[in-house]
């Protein structure tokens, strides 16, 4: 009987905790290289409450378009984490906000997060995040419009207003349904095109000019490893530089190309772990060399 009462008490406590916690994205579909914001909101914050944020990157599971199984090795770069406590209408709140960036198109499943709540530790998981591309449509021309006789449109609108209401409701529902799926329905780019676009985003952000050289090289190494992982069917995201080079040698890559890849990975390691400072010209040169490697290793793409 005591065991049943303990289980019931734990269940009730867990249910109460679930009701006071909300985890959500500002937008659950973003473009590659854009910022995504994940918010953790706790209502009725207790005195004994603690959350230790993750730094640098989230190591996530990936699900690419057309795949049915989740695969490990995805990275979401953590640009920042900010938390605040406040009181609203007599209720205490705690809010933590992650700003994240992804450099590959896929559906991301984040790892479990942990909160210490009244001497107990609970895990929870954030909703999935969709990252991809949006295809822009451009009209080729404008059709000629013939002149029609004038009618009393206002009278028709007053008579059939309910039809317009149904049409407007249908359009609103359609927009809401397609908003979530628009990235997945967009035209799929090749691995080479996705990678070059990610490099372009890195160059455009210029994080190294804003005292964020380490953040730049986190994205830099992620782009390179994601490309090599997809190109040669490897899982390199959690590999060291030594392990990465060893696996590439087993794939039979040209030794000169392997040396060029190793130079870029070692350079990223020095900045991320040894806090080496590099100048603007050197960093831009590294981006150019990364583009050359991707172009040379990509198969020839012949337009249909």
pLDDT digit string (tens) for 223-252? 999 999 999 999 998 899 999 999 999 999
227 closest CA partner among 181, 296, 178, 141: 296
Residue 167 has pLDDT above 90, yes or no: no
pLDDT score of 19: 54
Secondary structure (DSSP) of 131-170: EE--------------------HHHHHHHSHHHHHHHHHH
List CB contacts of 208: < 8 A, sequence separation 6 or more.
Answer: 216, 278, 280, 283
Task: Categorize the per-residue pLDDT at 105 as very low, low, confident or very high, splitting at 50, 70 and 90.
Answer: confident
According to the model, what pLDDT value does residue 137 have? 43
Which pLDDT tens digit goes with each residue over 54-83? 888 898 988 887 777 888 888 899 999 999
- The whole-number pLDDT of residue 113 equals 87
Looking at residue 36, its pLDDT comes to 94
Residue 193 has what pLDDT?
92
The answer to whether the beta carbons of residues 75 and 222 sit under 8 Å apart is: yes
Query: What are the sequence ranges of the domains in the chain?
Result: 19-132, 154-185, 191-297
State what percent of residues in the chain have pLDDT above 90: 45
The torsion angles phi and psi of 29, rounded to 5 degrees, stand at -135, 120
Cα separation, 48 vs 45, in Å, equals: 8
pLDDT at 13 over 60: no
Say what angle helices 241-250 and 213-232 make with each other, to 10 degrees. Answer: 20
For the chain, give the percent of residues with pLDDT over 70: 79
- Closest by alpha carbon to 59, among 252, 280, 218, 296? 218
CATH value of 19-132 in 2.60.40.10, 3.40.50.2300, 2.160.10.10, 2.60.120.1090: 2.60.40.10
Chain mean pLDDT for the chain: 82
């Amino acid at each position: 009987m005591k065991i049943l009462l303990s289980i019931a008490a734990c269940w009730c406590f867990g249910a109460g905790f679930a009701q006071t916690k909300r985890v959500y994205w500002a937008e659950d579909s973003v473009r590659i290289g854009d910022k995504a914001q994940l918010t953790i909101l706790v209502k009725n914050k207790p005195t004994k409450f603690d959350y230790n944020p993750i730094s640098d990157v989230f190591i996530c599971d990936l699900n690419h378009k057309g795949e049915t199984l989740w695969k490990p090795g995805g990275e979401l770069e953590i640009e920042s984490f900010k938390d605040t406590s406040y009181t609203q209408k007599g209720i205490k709140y705690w809010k933590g906000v992650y700003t994240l960036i992804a450099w590959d198109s896929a559906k991301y499943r984040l790892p479990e997060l942990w909160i210490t709540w009244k001497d107990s530790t609970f895990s929870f998981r954030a909703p999935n995040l969709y990252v991809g591309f949006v295809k822009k449509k451009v009209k080729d021309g404008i059709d000629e419009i013939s002149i029609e006789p004038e009618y009393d449109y206002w009278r028709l609108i007053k008579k059939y207003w309910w039809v317009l209401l149904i049409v407007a409701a249908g359009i609103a529902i359609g927009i809401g349904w397609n908003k979530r799926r628009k990235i997945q329905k967009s035209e799929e780019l090749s691995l080479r095109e996705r990678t070059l676009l990610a490099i372009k985003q890195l160059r455009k952000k210029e994080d190294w000019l804003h005292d964020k050289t380490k953040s730049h090289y986190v994205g830099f190494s992620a782009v390179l490893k994601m490309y090599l992982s997809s190109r040669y069917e490897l899982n390199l995201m959690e590999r060291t530089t030594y392990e990465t080079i060893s696996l590439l040698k087993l794939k039979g890559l040209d030794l000169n190309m392997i040396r060029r890849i190793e130079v870029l990975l070692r350079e990223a390691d020095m900045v991320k772990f040894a806090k080496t400072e590099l100048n603007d010209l050197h960093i831009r040169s590294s981006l150019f060399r990364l583009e050359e490697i991707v172009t040379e290793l990509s198969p020839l793409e012949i337009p249909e």
